[in-house]
């Protein structure tokens, strides 16, 4: 699979231009340890995509990284400088892997909690009746504890807010930082003037609960697990390269096309290549979901991520490390996790107008209460509570949290979501259109009806001994047959397999090799039988289509094959409509016509002739065995050729949409309830901090329900 432009992208227009801009693999990756919301994503992508040397930039919030597509070898320093100028710390990914921590949030949380509890004890003494010099003494002790703790523990909010203000913009940390500063400043003023009230406990409680929310958000994102991170973890850091007569250990990034690698048994293939050893046993379950080991021979293609069960073996690489299948899958998974559906756009726009709205409400609360009561202290307290309680954290988390959980879950089921808006579109489909040949059906060999039992037992034994897909396809028709014992088994690549059975020569292979003419034959002594080649439904076609019917979906089958073949196949499957003898343009027109009738179509296909239909459909899915062009055109790739994954994709997409809408409802309900309470003076700064953190945690927990 590559990110080269697919044939379906040849259509003119803005969509083709966007596809062309995304066509290249990312050449640079930057770590952004301080980003934490949709407003951050929008600001970073807007800055980088505006630079002429950058073709595309995409932020992944869960991994706190931005993938940049530009000319290979460009110095990223100007991009880092530009990001720093608008308030975002940035590092090169390879150089600073350790920078992906939580910015000391856990330590700050512990200090804030310890300081808060001690100041609370002092506050209890004041609330219990301490007055005059005793009260002032306790206030000064509280100030001594609170001010250093607040300065250190709230540093992430202060830095983010200051960076935004320097760049003449607002973010959600501006009202937070302002609230903490005002609470501490007001309390210090009261202490210096001998006032009766100080709110150091509220300032520390605010800081503590904000940090609780931030830490929990970070940990919940980790619990959701990134599919891109799972994929990246499959790649070894170092490999053994053969240089002449010596073996040298080197970083995987140094591997280029044509290098010879030495791979031990049990290791993971680091880069795509061709096996040069005679034979190897390979486990491909990590990428395809196939549980059975596969035996491959010299000349076979091995894919990055495969596990060698035998060895050592040698491999000649066919691509550079940066172009391996595993790296491309990492990029596609990261792209999907940065889902940018219209829901995300709505959240980003809402968060963009939220900060000035919050400041306006806080200012209105201060002026209104000052005018109504002439009590500046009380008015300032209400303004601080308003600043805190209206933080748009929940709104910013509504979509990214759900997207990360859903795509991660699907990947671990062998389903790669590679389009940015696939989940949203898949949740809305009501019609499924299947290509027939290669998707719903494959070709297999069956023995002739008149073939005796003895030769059938020999045929099954020969088919089991062969690695050729066509030879093994006959096993489906021999499920009830007991294989006989063979001696001296030999497989001749591209020709067939031969052996001895009770002293008689037996063979299975093409007729030219056996001297029997065309077709595939089994020879048992002097007798020979021609095997018939028939089209059949793939094993999981029936349960997959039945599940789709149960979900209320309308099912179409289209093919370039004859009406007779199409009708015969449809008779064995729960298909509602059959379209035969259609060429690629006709397939695309059929999809267009269905959608013109108001249908939302998901197209499932694997061939080059399906590419136009895949790009035309509202959403598209390709099997893992599909041609490269079809995989590039599809929104979802079934890594293991399992049609049963299609109902799973649609169910999880519908679940994800429900979680997103629920998150928006939760965020809207919280704000509709909390803002009036704050403006009316019923919420203290401490209560506001608790409410805001609870809303963020609730949204993230709801997203995890998708898992």
485: annotated active-site residue: no
Buried/exposed 350-364: b ≥16 CB within 10 Å, e otherwise: bbbebbeebbebbee
Return the SS3 of 248.
Answer: strand
- Among 269, 230, 226, 289, residue whose Cα is nearest residue 639: 289
Helix H or strand E encompassing 668: helix 645-679
Check if the beta carbon of residue 67 is closer than 8 Å to that of residue 57.
yes
CA dihedral 270, 276, 277, 280 (to 10 degrees): 50
- Among 448, 458, 389, residue whose Cα is nearest residue 691: 389
Sign of CA pseudo-dihedral 517, 519, 520, 522:
negative
Helix H or strand E encompassing 577: strand 577-579
Output phi, psi for 137, to 5 deg: -65, -45
Output phi, psi for 59, to 5 deg: -90, 135
- Among 460, 465, 437, 438, residue whose Cα is nearest residue 447: 460
Q: What residue has token string 């290669």?
A: 438
Check if the beta carbon of residue 509 is closer than 8 Å to that of residue 493.
no
- Among 232, 218, 220, residue whose Cα is nearest residue 333: 232
Residue 143, judged by CB atoms within 10 A of its CB (0-12, 13-18, 19+), counts as buried
- Residue partners of 680: CB distance under 8 A and separation at least 6: none
CA 332 to mean position of chain CA atoms: 8
d(CA 608, CA 579): 18
d(CA 399, CA 698): 13
Query: Strand 431-435 to strand 601-604: parallel, antiparallel, or no bridges (unpaired)?
Result: parallel
Sign of CA pseudo-dihedral 621, 623, 629, 630:
negative
Residue 586, judged by CB atoms within 10 A of its CB (0-12, 13-18, 19+), counts as middle
**Whole-Å CA distances, 703 to 38, 59, 338, 673:** 16, 20, 15, 22
Token representation of residue 134: 């005793």
- Among 462, 451, 543, residue whose Cα is nearest residue 499: 462
Catalytic position from the list 201, 259, 306, 435 = 435
d(CA 185, CA 191): 10
d(CA 138, CA 129): 12
Rounded to 10 deg, the angle between the 200-224 and 105-127 helix axes is 150
274: β partners: 301, 316
The sheet with strand 415-417 has its strands ordered as 415-417, 636-638, 619-623, 601-604, 431-435, 554-558, 577-579
Check if the beta carbon of residue 246 is closer than 8 Å to that of residue 279.
no
Check if the beta carbon of residue 537 is closer than 8 Å to that of residue 545.
no
Question: For 10-114, where are the E strands, in sequence order?
Answer: 28-31, 54-60, 65-70, 91-92
Catalytic residues: 435
């Amino acid at each position: 699979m590559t990110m080269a432009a697919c044939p379906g992208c040849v259509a003119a227009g803005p969509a083709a231009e966007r596809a062309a801009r995304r066509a290249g693999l990312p050449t640079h990756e930057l770590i952004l340890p301080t980003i934490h919301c949709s407003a951050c994503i929008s600001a970073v992508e807007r800055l980088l995509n505006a630079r002429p040397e950058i073709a595309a930039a995409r932020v992944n919030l869960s991994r706190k990284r931005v993938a940049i597509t530009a000319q290979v070898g460009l110095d990223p320093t100007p991009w880092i400088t530009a990001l720093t100028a608008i308030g975002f710390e940035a590092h090169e990914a390879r150089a600073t892997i350790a920078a992906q921590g939580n910015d000391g949030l856990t330590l700050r949380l512990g200090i804030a909690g310890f300081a808060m509890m001690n100041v609370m004890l002092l506050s209890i003494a004041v609330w219990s009746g301490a007055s005059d010099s005793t009260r002032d003494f306790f206030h000064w002790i509280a100030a001594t504890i609170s001010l250093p703790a607040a300065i250190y523990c709230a540093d992430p909010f202060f830095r983010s807010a200051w960076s935004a203000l320097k760049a003449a913009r607002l973010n959600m940390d501006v009202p937070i930082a302002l609230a903490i500063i005002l609470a501490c400043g007001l309390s210090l003023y009261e202490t210096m003037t001998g006032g009766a009230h100080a709110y150091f406990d509220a300032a520390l409680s605010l800081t503590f609960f904000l940090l609780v929310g931030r830490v929990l958000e970070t940990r919940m994102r980790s619990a959701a697990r990134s599919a891109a991170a799972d994929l990246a973890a499959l790649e070894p850091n170092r490999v053994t390269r053969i240089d002449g007569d010596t073996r040298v250990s080197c970083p995987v990034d140094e591997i280029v096309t044509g290098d010879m690698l030495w791979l031990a048994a049990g290791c993971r293939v680091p880069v795509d290549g061709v096996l040069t050893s005679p034979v190897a046993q390979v486990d491909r379950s990590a990428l395809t979901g196939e549980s059975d080991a596969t035996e491959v021979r010299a000349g076979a293609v091995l894919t990055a991520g495969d596990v060698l069960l035998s060895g050592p073996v040698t491999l000649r690489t066919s691509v550079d490390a940066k172009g391996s299948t595993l790296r491309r899958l990492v990029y596609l998974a990261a792209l999907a996790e940065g889902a940018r559906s219209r829901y995300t756009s709505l959240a980003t726009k809402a968060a963009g107008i939220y900060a000035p709205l919050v400041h306006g409400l806080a200012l209105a609360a201060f002026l209104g209460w000052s005018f109504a009561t002439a009590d500046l202290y009380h008015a300032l307290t209400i303004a601080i509570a308003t600043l805190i309680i209206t933080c748009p954290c929940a709104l910013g988390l509504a979509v990214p949290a759900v997207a990360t959980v859903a795509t991660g879950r699907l990947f671990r089921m062998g389903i790669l979501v590679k389009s940015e808006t696939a989940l949203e579109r898949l949740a809305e489909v009501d019609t499924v259109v299947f290509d027939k040949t290669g998707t719903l059906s494959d070709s297999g060999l069956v023995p002739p009806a008149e073939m005796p039992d003895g030769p059938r037992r020999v045929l099954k034994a020969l088919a089991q001994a062969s690695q050729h897909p066509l030879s093994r396809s006959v096993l489906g028709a021999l499920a009830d047959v007991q294989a006989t014992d063979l001696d001296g088994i030999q497989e001749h690549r591209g020709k067939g397999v031969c052996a001895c059975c009770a002293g008689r020569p037996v063979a299975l292979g093409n007729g030219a090799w056996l001297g029997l003419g065309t077709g595939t034959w089994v020879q048992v002594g002097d007798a020979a039988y021609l095997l018939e080649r028939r089209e059949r439904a793939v094993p999981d076609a029936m349960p997959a289509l039945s599940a789709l019917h149960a979900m209320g979906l309308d099912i179409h089958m289209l093919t370039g094959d004859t009406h007779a073949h199409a009708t015969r196949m449809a008779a064995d499957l729960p298909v509602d409509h059959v379209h035969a003898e259609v060429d690629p343009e006709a397939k695309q027109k059929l999809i267009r016509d269905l959608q013109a009738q108001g249908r939302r179509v998901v197209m499932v296909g694997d061939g080059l002739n399906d590419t136009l239909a895949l790009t035309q459909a509202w959403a598209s899915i390709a099997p893992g065995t599909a041609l490269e062009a079809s995989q590039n055109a599809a929104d979802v790739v079934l890594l293991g050729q399992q049609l049963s994954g299609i109902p799973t994709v649609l169910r999880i997409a519908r679940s994800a949409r429900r979680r997103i809408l629920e998150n928006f409802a939760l965020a809207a309900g919280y704000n509709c309830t909390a803002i009036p309470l704050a403006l009316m003076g019923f919420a203290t700064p401490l209560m506001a901090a608790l409410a805001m953190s609870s809303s963020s945690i609730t949204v993230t927990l709801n997203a995890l329900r998708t898992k």
